[in-house]
Amino acid sequence: MNNSIVVFLVILISIFSCKSVSDDSHIRSNHQCMPTPLERFSHSDSVVNGTQNSKEGMVFIQGGSFEMGSDGNIKADGEKGYVGSDEFPKHQVEINSFWMDATEVTNIQFKAFVDATGYVTTAEIAPDWEEIKKSLPPGTSRPPDSVLAPASLVFIQTDGPVLLQDYSQWWRWTIGANWRHPFGPGSNIEGKDNYPVVHISWDDAQSYCKWAGKRLPTEAEWEYASRGGQINQIYSWGNEHINKGISKANSWEGDFPYNNELNDGYLYTAPVKSYLPNAYGLYDMAGNVWEWCQDWYHIDYYKMIANEISNNPNGPNESYDPDEPYIKKRVMKGGSFMCNDSYCSGYRNSMRMKSSPDTGSLHTGFRTVMDAVSP
């Protein structure tokens, strides 16, 4: 694709400013590390309920109470990294028992869903300009039909250092990219049955859940599970920095987005279960792919519920992201193979990411949960 069109597209589809970590502070306002693609119509109601309801591959998570959010001790190993203002204050939360997938949903699992239902993902549907323009400044020109084709966002490693505010340097709006063709036409998922499915929108994840008889985790359930019963720990494995000791998760080691030291073995996604599980037996809660949660994202949600003990909170009633106030967003957790301390440190338990429900990309996936029926 012509690069000028790419730049145009990325500007069009993702009006936001990414914030890199500067030397003067490690606490930032809320952070975004992926563009928000074109608004598209939702088609998540087109799938009938499934009857799977299987707990195969799931882990029982015993309910309890925990402190949710960041305590700001990100410098446990003397390292400096990102922490968002939306992660404060830390607040008390009670969680009922539930079942959770031990791994991110894989290609073979998602294929079973598509084969059974004929479901067509967001990335496989041409964007609807009439819907897109509702989220753009008035007067924005309609892009050519060649641009308004089924597509998704693909990460491209750069040749050298780039401004970390300019995400168009490493994201490409790629016609034909979707879960079957993660890097666009010519790529495929052969031999990758056990890799996490990618290019999944929140709408896609919801449809899968309906079919499977499951649901997305709330943000609180996800963070409770990621912490694995540990108190005041930054990561799902504890407090040791991600780049020290044995490889603990698939992240970006080195200098993002041009130099990857590959100590964890993978430049892009890794097969699920490539690293040790956390204390609850959950794999890849940190890194590999971002995981959709059920909740709307609101930058001030933790402040809203700071003075109460929240019982199974399921998020605010409405979304608000001051960086893109006209776009409603859902929460994502856990970080991806692209996360690095120079950027969002997304592999921390308390890190909050958000994106519009019709967004998918090369590092977007999910896992499901089920309620635990009381005996």
Residue ranges that bind Ca ion, judged by CB under 5 A: 250, 264, 266, 284, 288, 334, 337
* Least distance from Ca ion to the Cβ atom of residue 19, Å: 22
- CB nearer Ca ion, residue 147 or residue 154: 154
Residue nearest to Ca ion (CB): 334
- CB nearer Ca ion, residue 238 or residue 316: 238
* Least distance from Ca ion to the Cβ atom of residue 129, Å: 33
**What backbone phi and psi angles, to 5 degrees, belong to 227?**
-70, -25
Residue 87 identity:
E
What are 178-184's contacts with CB under 8 Å, separation 24+? Answer: 178/121, 178/123, 178/124, 178/150, 178/152, 178/360, 179/107, 179/110, 179/121, 179/123, 182/154, 182/268, 182/362, 183/154, 183/362, 184/154
**What backbone phi and psi angles, to 5 degrees, belong to 87?**
-90, 0
CA 21, 154, 244, 367 dihedral sign is positive
Check: CB of residue 312 under 8 Å from CB of residue 215: no
* Least distance from Ca ion to the Cβ atom of residue 56, Å: 20
Pairwise CA distance, residues 104 & 282, whole Å: 9
Question: What is the total residue count of the chain?
Answer: 375
Look up residue 231 and give its two tokens.
């108190």
* Least distance from Ca ion to the Cβ atom of residue 333, Å: 8
Check: CB of residue 265 under 8 Å from CB of residue 301: no
- CB nearer Ca ion, residue 69 or residue 346: 346
H or E element in which residue 291 lies: strand 290-296
* Least distance from Ca ion to the Cβ atom of residue 112, Å: 20
Residue 246: other Cβ atoms inside 10 A: 10
Residue 180 identity:
R
47 Cβ contact partners less than 8 Å away, ≥ 6 residues apart: 117, 119, 207, 210, 211
- CB nearer Ca ion, residue 151 or residue 289: 289
Nearest alpha-carbon partner for 152 in 218, 208, 197, 206: 197
* Least distance from Ca ion to the Cβ atom of residue 272, Å: 9
* Least distance from Ca ion to the Cβ atom of residue 204, Å: 16
* Least distance from Ca ion to the Cβ atom of residue 250, Å: 5
